[in-house]
Chain A
Amino acid sequence: MRSYRLHALFVGAVLVASLAGAAVVRFTRPGGELFPIFSWTLFLYVPNSVTEYAVEILEVQGEALAPAPTFHEARAIFRRSGDIAADKVIQGMARAAVAGDEARLGELRRLFEDRYLGASHAPVRYRLVEREYAPLERWRGGGFRSATALRDFEYAGDAS
């Protein structure tokens, strides 16, 4: 009976804690998450206008690509180009580059190059760009409101 009563209280406490924990991580953790506790702020705001970062692929194995496709457009080359996780890494790389956080940029570059570009395509020259657009407007044929090159990188195929 005692373990039953404790279990009942434990379940109640976990449920209350999960609600409170979601609010805490929302405001204290990057991405609103301390795995596996998540705030569940998915699609929190409607993206009327967004400023995002992208990777443009300038050159693959010495061959220049013109016009330079973004990493996500280069499906014929990179197996993981449609992966949303790659997009998150790109956003993180760009934020680190903008903030001048070279250590974090180095970590994320290593991850992006090793997992998403892949050594078999090296050497790859690519560029981080910042772009502003309104999703609905761009979907209906409008372009970017602005696009700015941030920095160029070269991946030689050696992730070490």
Chain B
Amino acid sequence: MTPALALRRARRWLSGPRGALEHPFALQRARFETAFTLVGVFYAANLYLTFTQLQHWASLARARALDPLWPVAWVESVGIATSVHAIMGLLLVGSVAAALLPGRRAARTLAFLGLLLFHALLNSFGKINHSSHGWLLCAFLWIFLPDGTRGTVGATRVGRQHLLNGFWSGMAIQAVCYSLAGTWKVLGAIPQALRGEVHSLAPDALGTHIAHRLLQTGGDSLLGGFFIDHAWLGWPSFAFVLYLQVFALWAVFRPPLHRAWGAGLISFHFMVYLTLGVIFEPPVLLMGILFLCSPFAPEWRLREVLGALPVLGGLARRVLGSAPRGIADAGEGQEGLDGAVGAHGLGDLRSPREPLSSR
């Protein structure tokens, strides 16, 4: 089996049953227009985030000691202040260039390099903060979006499909991060349960995490104490978050779930702040751009969302008595997935209904 075929089979399995598309090329064009706009929004938001990071410039330049990560291992030999000015300059130039010319690969590459060096530097003080990893990984994958303007890229089906695949890759890499976080927690629960300890699926799990975190740094949070005292409320909340996290990657393959997962994971970040006092700002912005505004998501219908739920969808469909239309509809928005994971989309692209060079 070729890698392309293996990926295609994996995608089809994760997507579930699909219906035939009535107007696939018109749909592809509409999705492309939205996705191209959202790429521009991402780089405009990146410029905003860069602006918020300027507050660190002076204190970074004054630093006299670092525990440098590999991308900035050269900083101490060049001189910390000089290196900080160079890195901040690159961050600014890259962010401005990509915000002005999001369609240009050179601008996107500069933006990624600036982000990589800046975050490596910012995380070279003893702890790596993970709030910007997803943003950085998305910026890396989006270097490989097609190079051109909306007009040139959107002129052909291949160009449009290429951009949609690239957009979907940004969604998928975020989902990978969440799925890993959830899966490890579930795996970590096994040895703890066997030892008879409080584990991730136990009622006191959330309260114990909150107490530990707040005691660790002498911090405070609005709802931390409440959830420690009301384990019966924290338990289902934590279990729900685990479900969202574990199946995030699966949900990316099912467009009716995009908005629901975006809203769910954004709510999760709100709750993390309100209980643990840990603030992850960029993921909220990113989940908004990629998932809440997903170009692949069909109109919001609760029955379809429930019917498309990983693992629980079958039960929901049986209870609601509906055909698996939710998952069938997933196909409507899934132009970007086909090529992203295999050759399936190429078959569509070669359809005689519209020549490859067609507008």
Contacts and interface: CB of A to CB of B under 8 A. Distances in A.
B218 A135 contact: no
A24 B116 CA distance: 21
Interface stretch (B203-211, B283-291, B302-310): B203-211
Interface string A18-42: 1100100010000101111011111
Interface of A: 1, 3-5, 7-15, 18-19, 22, 26, 31, 33-36, 38-48, 50, 52, 70, 72-73, 75, 81-89, 92, 107-108, 110-115, 133, 135-136, 138-139, 159-160
B125 A39 contact: no
Contacts of A108: 67, 126
Contacts of A35: 69-71, 120, 123, 128
**In which size bucket is the chain B interface?**
35 or more
A112 B3 contact: no
Contacts of A75: 218
A43 B209 contact: yes
Where chain B touches its partner, the secondary structure class is helix
B236 interface: no
Contacts of A52: 216
Given A111-B67, A112-B126, 5 more contacts: A8-B339, A14-B169, A15-B172, A35-B69, A38-B128
Where chain A touches its partner, the secondary structure class is helix
23 contacts: A1-B356, A4-B161, A5-B343, A7-B162, A7-B166, A9-B4, A10-B144, A11-B144, A12-B340, A12-B342, A14-B141, A22-B176, A41-B184, A42-B181, A46-B189, A48-B208, A75-B218, A82-B218, A84-B127, A85-B129, A108-B67, A110-B64, A136-B228
Contacts of B133: 36, 38
B136 interface: yes
B212 A135 contact: yes
Interface stretch (B43-51, B191-199, B254-262, B319-327): B191-199
